[in-house]
Structure 1
Amino acid sequence: MGFLLRWLGAFLLLAATFNPTEYNYVQWVRSYGHMNLSIAVLIGLILLVGYIIYLRASLRSIGILGMMLVAALVAALIWVAADLGLINLDNPSFNLWLGLVVLSLVLAIGLSWSIVRRTLSGQADVDDVDT
């Protein structure tokens, strides 16, 4: 259940920032941000904090190479699904949603990896040492 919540949080963060509908931060700032500059900056900073949390945890737990490997594995799964005719990649809107799912999976796996590793190996990750 924990992984699903982390994935949902990552997906909502990415989808709130940009998605193929008109209901996203980027579109709102383009259309109305100049009229509500203080709100646009506040929401942008809240989104930035979310990205920093997810990216920092992902980079510390699996690194950039691990993030690229997870993205490559998910891309290969999508390629297989497309080759087997399970999904159709002709719709740009669907492709964008699929990209959001892939990116959110990468972030969620990065955020969850330390927990998975500790569960499987019994070893805790200790990065910060208080002196």
Structure 2
Amino acid sequence: MSNAENRRFPRLDHVSSRQIIRLDQTQTPHRNIVLTQNLSACGIRFTTHDNLEKNTYFLIYLNEQNLESIHNSNQNFLRSGDYLLAKVVWNKTNPDKTFKIGAAFLEKEKAKSNEIETFTELVNISMLDLLPDIEKGF
């Protein structure tokens, strides 16, 4: 049996640029643009210039159309609007020094308290961009 046949959820090719938001080890927020390769109902695969280590958490923007295409709009994932929390489960270095990343979406009922805290912090960071710049005035 091939890996594709063993999969609980099939992967669908989906090539697009997406922004992710993550915290580094010092809790400094980083925004990265990634190039997605495919989606499934439980995760995503993408390429990035930054090496995201295994177990790194990040928010990724996926709209309703993306979610409907993989039949997971009704899943119970940690989600705020069109942002979902994901966790890196594997990474590989490409010959061109970019990184191939596989990540899983986190489910609400299986989330640990530290994952919920990370989710809340990342959502707050993403919302700060929507607020007017106080130094520039309203």
| TM-score, L = length of structure 2 | 0.25
Q: Which has the larger share of helix?
A: 1
- Larger RCO (alpha carbons 8 Å, 6+ apart): 1
Q: Which has the larger share of strand?
A: 2
| TM-score, L = length of structure 1 | 0.26
